[in-house]
Amino acid sequence: MYQRTQLDASLQARAAQADETTGQPMDLALLWRELVTGDSRVMHSFASEERCYLVLERLRDCKPLTRGPKARKIRILESLFFLGAQKNVALEFGVSLSSVAGVTKECLEALGLPCKPSRVSPLVIAAAHAARGDSVVCWGRLSQFAHSSINYRVVSLARPDAELASLLTPAQFEVVRLRVQGMSHVEIAKSRHRSRRTIANQLAESFRRLGVSGRSELIRCLITQPPTVLGRKPARRTVSMRDRSLPAPEQH
């Protein structure tokens, strides 16, 4: 059984520092291919106020060779990211809800993400959309660093929810960011010293104002269309060749 490495605060800080000082542009579609083929696996994911991070282990250099899940299972996981609801995925593939749940759990664990879909980092979802070709968020930042004699790679992405501040009240913005980050209602309530009902109401009102049904749809909209159109029920944006062109490195 694969043992997940728990990153301490110093390693997390080291990853963020390496990203800030030595990060180079990375095609997120390439990141997704590395994950689903078993070339790389997520060791840890975390977020700051500005960015989402994935710390990766390069499995291609390890023995024995690790292979990713079968293509059909990956398509089911991708469809969950693209469609949002398990029932929609079940209808698309002609399988039961329990099958979708089982395949999703297996695939996420293979990628190094032993968590529920509602906790998956927006960076992972952005990578899947980039590989599909319908994302306006196609590029992240890649760097390498060593900690305790172990070599790591870190991929980061500017938080796609950063521009929601102008669309929500300060309180709504904070709870939505925590929800996008993957925290549950209970965890958000505890961190903000509020009741679970208060958090639920704030999130419901925030999602209503943004014109989305919940976290999955919000992340999908932030990744596939400009945030300025949220709340206006726009037509789906077509990805242009400009979106896929090589960008200049992000400013540090």
At a CB cut-off of 8 Å and minimum separation 6, what does 29 contact? 127, 130, 131, 133, 138
What integer pLDDT is reported at residue 152 of this predicted model? 93
What integer pLDDT is reported at residue 84 of this predicted model? 81
What integer pLDDT is reported at residue 244 of this predicted model? 37
Domain segments of the chain as ranges: 12-159, 162-234
Report the phi/psi class of residue 213: left, alpha or beta, with left for phi > 0 and alpha for psi in -120 to 50.
alpha
What integer pLDDT is reported at residue 225 of this predicted model? 85
- The whole-model pTM stands at 0.84
For residue range 34-86, list pLDDT tens digits in order. 999 999 999 999 999 999 999 998 876 554 445 667 899 999 999 999 988 89
For residue range 97-124, list pLDDT tens digits in order. 999 999 999 999 999 999 999 999 999 9
Structure tokens at 216: 């999955």
Structurally, at CATH architecture level, domain 162-234 sits in Orthogonal Bundle (1.10)
Q: What length does the chain have? A: 252
Alpha carbon distance 136, 244 (integer Å): 8
What integer pLDDT is reported at residue 150 of this predicted model? 87
**Predicted confidence band at 248 (pLDDT cuts at 50, 70, 90)?**
very low
- Percentage of the chain surpassing pLDDT 90? 72
For residue range 154-196, list pLDDT tens digits in order. 999 999 999 899 999 999 999 999 999 999 999 999 999 999 9
Structurally, at CATH architecture level, domain 12-159 sits in Orthogonal Bundle (1.10)
Instruction: Assess whether the region 12-159 and the region 162-234 belong to the same CATH fold.
Output: yes
